[in-house]
Amino acid sequence: MLVADECWVALATLTKDHPSRPSFSAPEILKQIRREGAHMPMRAGAQAHVHQHNVANVPPNTARYRMFYRMDDRTYRLYRAGDPCHPERSGKIHPNRSELPAKYHGLLDWYERNYCSASRGVATEADPVLRMRGLGREIWAKVDADAYVRGLREGWDDPTLGNPEVANLRAADAAEIWQRLVRHQGVEFKTKRGLTFTHRVEGDTGIWFLREGRPINMRLSRREIEEALQRLPIQGPADLKEFRDPSYLYGLLTDRRIIG
C-alpha cells in the first residue's frame, strides 16, 4: 500500500469501530497503523502523512491529498466531498480501489455509502457558520426584495449625491462663479504640488494663468471653465486632463474662494 492509503485505512478503521468518536489524535492513528501492520516497522513517512500530506485544510508541502480533515483541537477525521480545503490541494480523497488490498474494499464501501452521507448532516449542524442559516429571517418576512434593492440604488447616477460641495455649486449661479474669478485676479493660488500662480480675466471671454507675472500657455475660455465645473468633485489635475493647464485649473476649482 501507499503510505497515504495506509494512513487512511488506519483512520477509517478507527472511525468505523468507534462511531461515537468524531475525530482521533495523531498518536491514535499512528498506533492503529502499527496494529494493522501492513509494513513493519512502520514507514518513516507515515507521521508526515498524518500531520500534513493527507490533511486537506493545511497548506501542502509535496503531496496534495485530501484524505483527512484537521479539527480545531488538532485531531483528525476522514475528509468528505464538500469539506473546506486549501486552494492548492486537489488530490484524491480516499484510496483508489485498484491500489487497495482486497481485504480493505469493504472499508472503502463503508466510507462511500455510510460515512460520507451520515457525516454530512452532523458536520452541517456542528459548523457555527452554517448554523446561522436562516437567522433573522423574520425581519425580512414582509419586505419586497426587489423594491428594497431599488430603494438602495435610487440616486446612484446623481453625481451630487453625498457631495455637498457639488450640490452647492449646482445651486449657485454660474455667473457668480465667474464674478469670483474676476474679484480674485492677481491673488495667489496654489497647484496640488504647491506651485503658486495667479490669473487674469480677459473681458468676458476667458482667463490667463500667470507664473511670476508671465502668461502660461494659452487663454482658457469661459465655456471651458463652466464645463470643468461640472466635473466636481475632482481628485487631481488628471481629472481635468482634457482642458488646457489642468494643474492651474485644478488649483482654482478646489479653492473655496472660488467655489464657495
Whether 205 is in a domain gets the answer yes
126 and 186 share a domain?
no
100 and 168 share a domain?
no
Q: What local confidence, expressed as pLDDT, does residue 228 receive?
A: 87
Q: What local confidence, expressed as pLDDT, does residue 214 receive?
A: 86
Instruction: Write the DSSP string, the chain.
Output: --HHHHHHHHHHHHHHH-TT-S-B-HHHHHHHHHHHTSSSSPPTHHHHIIIIITBTTS--SS-----EEE-TTS-EEE--TTS---TT----SS--GGGS-GGGHHHHHHIIIIIHHHHHHHHHHH-TTGGGTTTTGGGGTT--HHHHHHHHHTTTT-TTTT-HHHHHHHHS-HHHHHHHHHHTTT--EE-TT--EEEEEEETTTEEEEEETTEEEEEEEEHHHHHHHHTT-S-SSGGGGTTSSSHHHHHHHHT-HHHH-
Whether 143 is in a domain gets the answer no
What percent of the chain stands above pLDDT 90?
A: 50
31 and 98 share a domain?
yes
Whether 100 is in a domain gets the answer yes
Whether 148 is in a domain gets the answer no
78 pLDDT tier (thresholds 50, 70, 90): very high
Each residue's pLDDT tens digit, 149-206: 776 666 555 554 455 555 455 545 678 888 999 999 999 999 999 999 999 998 888 8
Q: What is the mean pLDDT of residues 229-245?
A: 87
7 and 122 share a domain?
yes
Each residue's pLDDT tens digit, 87-98: 999 899 999 999
pLDDT of residue 210 exceeding 80, the answer is yes
125 and 175 share a domain?
no
Whether 156 is in a domain gets the answer no
Whether 159 is in a domain gets the answer no
61 pLDDT tier (thresholds 50, 70, 90): confident
Q: What local confidence, expressed as pLDDT, does residue 123 receive?
A: 47
Q: Output the nine-digit C-alpha cell for 9.
A: 485505512
181 and 238 share a domain?
yes
252 and 180 share a domain?
yes
Residue numbers of the domain that contains 72: 3-132
Q: How many domains does the chain have?
A: 2
Q: What local confidence, expressed as pLDDT, does residue 203 receive?
A: 85
Whether 153 is in a domain gets the answer no
8 and 113 share a domain?
yes
Whether 152 is in a domain gets the answer no
Q: What local confidence, expressed as pLDDT, does residue 100 receive?
A: 92
